Amino acid sequence: MRVLITAAEVYPEMERAFLNARHEIWASYRIFDLATKLRTPEAKEIGSTWFDLIVHTLRRGVRLNMVLSDFDPIMTAELHGTTWKSMRAFVAASEAAGPDAPLKVTAAIHPSRVGRPLRLVLWPFVRRRLKRILAGLNEKPLIEREQILATMPGLRTHVKRDRDGYLKATHWPPADMLPATHHQKIAVFDRETLCVGGLDLNERRYDDKGHHRSRDETWHDVQVMTTDRGYVEEAQRHLETFLDVTAGLRKPEPSHDLLLTLSRKRKVTMPFIGPKPLVTALRDAHLAQVRRAEKLIYLETQFFRDTGLAQELAAAGRNNPELEVILILPAAPEDIAFYGNTGADAKYGEYLQAKCLGILEDAFGDRIAMGSPVRPETIDQDGRDTSAGSPIIYVHAKVSIFDTTSAIVSSANLNGRSFNWDTEAGVMIENPETVRYLRHRAFCHWLCETPEDAFHLPGKAAASWRRRCGDNLSCAPHDRRGFLVTHDRAPAQKIGRPLPGIPESMV
């Protein structure tokens, strides 16, 4: 099993996997942008972007089965448009490859829907969102406006034009609301190699191990590639069946090595907001490993918002005074840090995360170290995209390591959405040698050096990480050792607001 950290390691391996594929590729991604640049010399020989690589792959007769996640066209309009731009690019690549190009590409919306009564209640709010989107489009020239609208088929259903050609929101019927998505990032090559983890494909997600990017372009992620037969066979079966499973057309297949989250649409939607959970293996595995952990739990996550997991960790900490936790997470969520989201969803997410981190701190005290990475430079700004006077490094990885006996690498965040609603995929690693290697790579990345024994020794690890984060917090950026400073949950506490009646899985 190969551990790949950041897109600087992942993207070249993905390029080689496509170049070396002989018969077929099955894949499912949240975002897969064919305008992404190619990085390896061998890939650059056939072109400059992933569009060229896909054309080349299809011309060689390699069958490509690709599922692209689609999104709520009003509440997540930008992502919806991104999906259909990619769909058009794949179709263009197929046409460029020739009339017999073996491509099957699907834009897949999760089948679950918010029930009609609640949809009627929320329609005024959704329609206001739709009107804001159309107001932005109406400011653009007519040709550009129509080009954008052409890439948003789900939006067009709720749009009409006035006599002057300007776009207006329809009054009826209320739009469907889509509470869940296919969030996984997984590919199988020739039924021999699996690539799975947290990383999608586009230029926004490209970063190197030194994070030499501006603060709104950093992106830390982890992926693994393996040829282990058990992982590969289960992943192949999952890719062939998950659309039918989430549509309620078939039951999920049992799996052991591949950890999944799967849900399906409900036959009776009220009083539920989201889909019916079918497989919660990622959540169950995390809870089970927390209960078994003896000395040290290491977590990298984009979000920590699942109160059930927080309470399970807290119970483990109270029951075992030798258990320590190291938690690495971004200083702020992406939508708040870089896009200024101040909506109820953002505030609810911050409320849940501040609550969960408070539960952990109360249980573990000085046996928990919580760090957030920043770039080693000073910036004269004071927004959520900065921490300790420096630009943040955005953590998107989903890595959980329990002692040196087991680890999970997946697409799932530590929140209710990833544990219950969205389609997620990952692997359980139980080979101690691989687990130790993964932990070593993770520690070296953030500390920017081979860690001293104290950083992983029982009874000393949390104190060592806390000390390093605290020292970095108090010194000048250019004097810091590694990327980490102490995570500050005060901003989340300040803006966080509960949403009574709304399930945690919404965010």
pLDDT of residue 187: 98
Please enumerate in sequence order all residues whose Cβ is within 8 A of that of 143, keeping only pairs 6 or more positions apart, or say none.
Answer: none
Residues 35 and 94 in one domain: yes
Both 134 and 77 in a single domain?
no
Check whether 118 has a pLDDT greater than 90.
Answer: no
Give yes or no: residues 95 and 212 share one domain: yes
- Residue 310 inside a domain? The answer is no
Residue 444: pLDDT band by 50, 70, 90 thresholds?
Answer: very high
pTM: 0.95
Neighbour count for residue 256 (Cβ, 10 Å)? 10
- Do 11 and 156 share a domain, yes or no? no
pLDDT of residue 37: 98
Residues 16 and 162 in one domain: no
Mean pLDDT along residues 53-77: 97
What sections of 221-367 are H helices per DSSP? 229-246, 281-292, 307-319, 334-337, 344-364
Contact 62, 188 (CB under 8 A): no
In a domain, 276, yes or no: no
Q: Which range is least confidently modeled, 31-45, 138-152, 392-406?
A: 138-152
Count of domains for the chain:
2
Domain membership of residue 22 (yes or no) is yes
Count of CB atoms situated within 10 Å of the CB of 26: 21
> Are the C-beta atoms of residues 14 and 201 closer than 8 Å to each other?
yes
Residue 285 lies in a domain: no
Confidence label for 481 from pLDDT (cuts 50, 70 and 90): very high
Is there a domain that residue 148 lies in? yes
**Same-domain check for residues 122 and 201:** no
The Cα–Cα gap between 76 and 222 comes to: 25
Judge whether residue 272 has pLDDT over 90. Answer: no
* Residues 22 and 131 occupy one common structural domain: no
Name beta bridge partners: 159. 169
**Ramachandran bin of 160, using left for φ above 0, alpha for ψ from -120 to 50, beta for the remaining angles:** beta
The arithmetic mean of pLDDT across residues 393-405, rounded, is 97
How much is the CA Rg of the chain, to the nearest whole Å?
Answer: 23
pLDDT tens digits, one per residue of 385-394: 999 999 999 9
Q: Which domain holds residue 132?
A: 116-169
Residue 185 and residue 156 in one domain: no
Select the more confidently predicted residue: 268 or 503: 503
- Among 246, 222, 274, smallest CA distance to 501 is for 274
Distance, CA of 447 to CA of 373 (rounded, Å): 10
pLDDT reading at 270 higher than 80: no
| Whole-number Å distance between alpha carbons of 404 and 435 | 6
Q: Where are the alpha helices (DSSP H) in 114-264?
A: 116-138, 142-150, 153-156, 229-246
